[in-house]
Amino acid sequence: MMTSDEMLSLINKQLELLSRAHDPINLYSPIEYVLSLGGKRIRPILMMLAYQLFAEHPEEIIMPACGIETYHNYTLLHDDLMDNADLRRGHETVHKRWNANTAILSGDSMLVLAYRFITQCQDDKLREVIESFTDTALEIGEGQQYDMDFENRFDVTEEEYLEMIRLKTSVLLACSLKIGAILGNASSEDADNLYKFGIMLGLAFQLQDDYLDVYGDTKVFGKAIGGDIISNKKTYMLINAYHQANEEQRKELEYWTQQECFDKQEKIKAVTSLYNHIGIDKMALDKISWYFNESKQYLDSLHVENDKKNELVSFVLKMMKRQQ
């Protein structure tokens, strides 16, 4: 049985081979650059782990796995452009290192490459795989649009936010697991349960990301703390703070979200203090635990021996940084 670390090494090597720049160099160099920046490769590993539940030799689906990772990085490239972000994983974003037009064209080409890689699977599974991936890609676009719409709204509900992160984050994790199951000849029931597992896991994962942006350790989290507070990003934390705050707390929250000139650390400290007094930290942790625990029922329902699930369970626990 292949471990997740072995899968990670294999995926990185294959992506390096697939993304080597060639002419026209200004089209392919940014693609090579983006895919060389690393990352946890969560989605392709989940695909290979799902496959391994039902079949041997997960290396046989390395191309579809790399396709999912290429697609994921394409979405990040375009997200950075839309957000006008300076950095991604500590390195200059493509539109900053090159320019916006290059970011658009190279991103579009990454999407096409993702389809090319994903279609390199068994002929009898191709239609089901492509339908699953295409539905997911459209949903991610819908999630991104909702996220953009929320920027100019102050009445976003928790339910609306959860649906947005389901579309923007969860569905790609779920799709990765489902495609792995399909390629491993799993039953439709097992493939669907892995998809549902991925949806719940993705919601827990994104909510944890929201939480860690406020309460995480910079060294462990891998990026500066408080970025969502500084940018007034609509997160689970901010949305519930608005709804749960008393009149005095809401006035202070509105003061900080409406200021255009402020000391970043002072704002982070003030808003975090509000979250603490309102009890948003506990609300978020409870919600994360609820979704994570709900996900387990779908894993338990798989028609697979428990020992075959161990590597997937271990990877998910590591991904969520949890103890059993």
The parent domain of residue 76 ranges over 4-205+294-319
Number of compact structural domains in the chain:
1
pLDDT in tens, the chain (324 residues): 999 999 999 999 999 999 998 999 999 999 999 999 989 999 999 999 999 999 999 999 999 999 999 999 999 999 999 988 888 888 999 999 999 999 999 999 999 999 999 999 999 999 999 999 999 999 999 999 999 999 988 899 999 999 999 999 999 999 999 999 999 999 999 999 999 999 999 999 999 999 999 998 866 665 678 989 999 999 999 999 999 999 999 999 999 999 999 999 999 999 999 999 999 999 999 999 999 999 999 999 999 999 999 999 999 999 998 543
The answer to whether the beta carbons of residues 88 and 59 sit under 8 Å apart is no
Asked if the structure places residue 224 within a domain, the reply is no
Asked if the structure places residue 229 within a domain, the reply is no
pTM of the model: 0.95
The answer to whether the beta carbons of residues 165 and 234 sit under 8 Å apart is no
- Dist. CA 166–CA 200, nearest whole Å: 9
Scan for tokens 């519930």, then name that residue: 240
Asked if the structure places residue 251 within a domain, the reply is no
Asked if the structure places residue 165 within a domain, the reply is yes
Scan for tokens 């979704």, then name that residue: 291
Asked if the structure places residue 35 within a domain, the reply is yes
Asked if the structure places residue 105 within a domain, the reply is yes
- Dist. CA 57–CA 230, nearest whole Å: 46
Asked if the structure places residue 101 within a domain, the reply is yes
Tell me which H or E stretch contains 160: helix 158-165
Return all residues near 167 (Cβ < 8 A) that are at least 6 apart. 139, 140, 142, 143, 146
Of 248, 249, 229, residue with least CA distance to 238: 229
- Dist. CA 319–CA 322, nearest whole Å: 8
Asked if the structure places residue 268 within a domain, the reply is no
CATH for 36: 1.10.600.10
